[in-house]
């Protein structure tokens, strides 16, 4: 465990990774007492982490069964991704200041180096998108985007297991950066939407529910 990160967040990442590795398949009941003992933590921070993951859509909670793992569903992908690309494209078009291109380049290079490390790749990718729309001054819009990203995090995490898909994301990021270097915000926005659309299509190929 890292002393720099709140325990509930660390525990949330552990549970998320186990779910996406298949250690906790869809429908599995998570027994808090047993998992807390296995991880060497008290039940309070673990329960907080499980509640966070419930809000993000990874788990389901009810009084009779406690926490159970929700399946990845095509319906959720089809509903959430169009919302995300619409909001991000809007934020990019509304930006008062252009993105810091050198930072986008550096961050994208880090993404390419994170192949085989899905948790790291996910954080780097999310940070790249944050840098992309950092110039938007609409705080409510940023909050809405952050809320949607919490709900799709488990889908994006599964995406990051595939090195080929990470490389494709890297190339699409580069196309967006090139458009921004040419000061063509409209093209960059179109490429951003295409980027999310292709990611959605890749996920739908993997999901059977």
d(Cα 101, Cα 105) in Å, to the nearest integer?
6
Residue 30 DSSP label: E
pLDDT in tens, 8-44: 989 998 998 888 777 888 888 999 999 999 999 999 9
In the numeric block, which tokens belong to residue 76? Answer: 């959720």
Label residue 2 by pLDDT band (50, 70, 90). low
What are the Cα distances from residue 76, in Å, to 71, 96, 179? 10, 32, 31
pLDDT in tens, 160-206: 888 899 999 999 999 999 999 999 999 999 999 999 999 999 999 98
Mean pLDDT across the chain? 91
Q: What is the pLDDT of residue 166?
A: 94
d(Cα 52, Cα 47) in Å, to the nearest integer?
9
pLDDT in tens, 86-96: 999 999 999 99
Q: What is the pLDDT of residue 3?
A: 59
């Amino acid at each position: 465990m890292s002393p720099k990160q709140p325990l509930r967040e660390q525990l949330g990442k552990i549970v998320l990774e186990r779910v996406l590795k298949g250690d906790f398949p869809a429908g599995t009941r998570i027994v808090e007492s047993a998992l807390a003992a296995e991880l060497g933590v008290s039940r309070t921070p673990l329960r907080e982490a499980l509640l966070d993951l419930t809000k993000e859509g990874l788990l389901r909670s009810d009084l009779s069964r406690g926490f159970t793992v929700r399946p990845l569903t095509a319906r959720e992908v089809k509903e959430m991704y169009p919302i995300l690309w619409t909001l991000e494209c809007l934020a990019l078009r509304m930006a008062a200041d252009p993105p810091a291109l050198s930072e986008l380049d550096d961050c994208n290079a880090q993404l390419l180096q994170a192949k085989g490390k899905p948790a790291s790749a996910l954080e780097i990718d999310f940070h790249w998108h944050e840098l992309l729309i950092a110039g938007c001054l609409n705080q409510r819009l940023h909050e809405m985007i952050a809320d949607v990203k919490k709900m799709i995090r488990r889908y994006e995490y599964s995406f990051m297991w595939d090195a080929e898909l990470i490389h494709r994301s890297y190339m699409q990021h580069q196309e967006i950066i090139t458009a921004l270097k040419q000061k063509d915000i409209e093209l960059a926005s179109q490429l951003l939407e295409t980027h999310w659309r292709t990611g959605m299509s890749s996920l739908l190929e993997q999901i059977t529910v």
